[in-house]
Amino acid sequence: MDVLLESSRRSDVAVELGPETLDLVVSALCRRLRRPDLALSAALPASRGLCFSPDRRTYRTLVKSLCDAGMLDEATHLVYSMLSRISQRGCDADVAAYRALLEALCAAGRGADAEAVLGKVLKKGLRAPRRRRAFRTPELAGKSLEEARRVIDEALVVGGVESLASYEAMAGDLYEEGMFERADKVFDEMCQRGFRPPVSMYDAKITALCGDGRADDAVKVLEVEMAEKNCVPTVRTYNLVMKGLCQEGKSLKAVRYLKRMDKQVGCVANKETYEILANGLCSEGRSPEAAQVLDRMLKWHHRPESATFGSLIKGLCSLGRRYEAILWLEEMIGHGRAPPDCVWASLVSMVTRCKPRLIAYEDWKRTLASIPDELFLYLAKLVSLKGF
């Protein structure tokens, strides 16, 4: 952090520190190094020195990491420092950070402290001024963890000044943690209050379902729930569903969504879409179908990654489709992608009828003699033309 600060003050170094950079630093310290104490003591003072405020994601990451590390007092002080962000319109997406602290306090048997934090949060802005005089802090002490969670959810989202951002943050957080029942309850409450769910909320639910190995349920969200709410899926939505299906070995079902995207106005498959499908088909041994997907990808002027090319070529080699494998090798080199050793090994093993294995360049002298002359000359020509 000190290096970044020093670089930002130098005129000869093009380093611009802002909320996004700070969020990356805090995420690395908290999630990768598991040092929320270091992030709290270094990152936040740095933001004050550079005259900008951390965004909501930074606060959320810090509060959650501090709670996971058992540093509840530090997390409480951090939440109190966030209260100035609350307005009469509510606390919006900050409810995710508040909920993390409140649940951690209740889980540690500090229900009274949780009540104090919740009371301050609600009085600061979640409730309208005319209701403050009659306001009573919800009771959390003495309740079970499940009961406390229910009270916290109702107090933060339902009992305060509702906003779409609050509902979205709360439901998204619950979906990410795999608490589908609680998340669906918040989702239904939001709809009853007259808010229209954005596509991002459905994306969060689909991501969580696919991560839980429930791709078929994610398909129902796309085809049933979104249709009932007249919510139009985006390319990201389709990509999430297709990725989940491919991970569960249902790539042929995922390919069908390409036609659906073609029929939807303004929804054009992107590079990620084609690579998800191609890699999924190759992983199931469906290399000819993957070749069709990649062919369409190239027609739309998307450039596949080396790994995608390599998976297709190895798959075609395993099926003994020599001609197609060579054509895709030429296509790969034509796009400036250097074939790795495993691709060359697959080509050699296809021709020599030996088992696939990695073959380094130094080992080729012992195997090239068994390759037909026409294939050897063709490969040599390709390599010499592109300088690989």
Domain spans, the chain: 162-229, 234-297, 305-388
Tokens of 209: 């379902």
Contact 75, 66 (CB under 8 A): yes
For residue 9, what are the contacts with CB-CB under 8 A and spacing of at least 6? none
Contact 190, 174 (CB under 8 A): no
Degrees (nearest 5) of the Cα angle 120, 124, 126? 100
**pLDDT score at 43:** 65
Alpha-carbon distance of 222 to 243, in angstroms, equals: 13
Alpha-carbon distance of 358 to 317, in angstroms, equals: 14
**pLDDT score at 165:** 82
List C-alpha distances in Å: 214 to 180, 181, 197, 208, 221. Answer: 12, 15, 21, 9, 11
**pLDDT score at 89:** 46
Alpha-carbon distance of 152 to 146, in angstroms, equals: 10
**pLDDT score at 345:** 82
Contact 244, 206 (CB under 8 A): yes
pLDDT in tens, the chain (388 residues): 454 445 444 444 444 566 777 788 888 888 888 888 888 886 666 666 556 667 778 888 899 999 999 999 999 998 888 777 655 444 567 788 888 899 999 999 999 999 988 888 877 754 455 555 556 778 888 888 888 888 888 887 765 556 788 888 888 888 988 999 989 998 998 888 889 999 999 999 999 999 999 999 999 999 999 999 999 999 999 999 999 999 999 999 999 999 899 999 889 999 999 999 999 999 999 999 999 999 999 999 999 999 999 999 999 998 988 889 989 988 998 888 888 888 888 887 776 654 444 445 445 455 455 455 555 555 555 555 444 4
**pLDDT score at 16:** 55
CA 378 vs. chain centroid, Å, equals 42
Listed as own residue / partner, the contacts of 69-76 with beta carbons closer than 8 Å and 24 or more positions apart are 69/34, 69/36, 69/37, 71/36, 71/37, 72/101, 72/104, 72/105, 72/108, 72/110, 72/113, 74/36, 74/37, 74/40, 75/100, 75/101, 75/104, 76/101, 76/105, 76/113, 76/117
CA 202 vs. chain centroid, Å, equals 14
Nearest CA among 93, 70, 68, 69 for reference residue 82: 93
Alpha-carbon distance of 335 to 332, in angstroms, equals: 5
For residue 372, what are the contacts with CB-CB under 8 A and spacing of at least 6? 351
Nearest CA among 365, 279, 327 for reference residue 347: 327
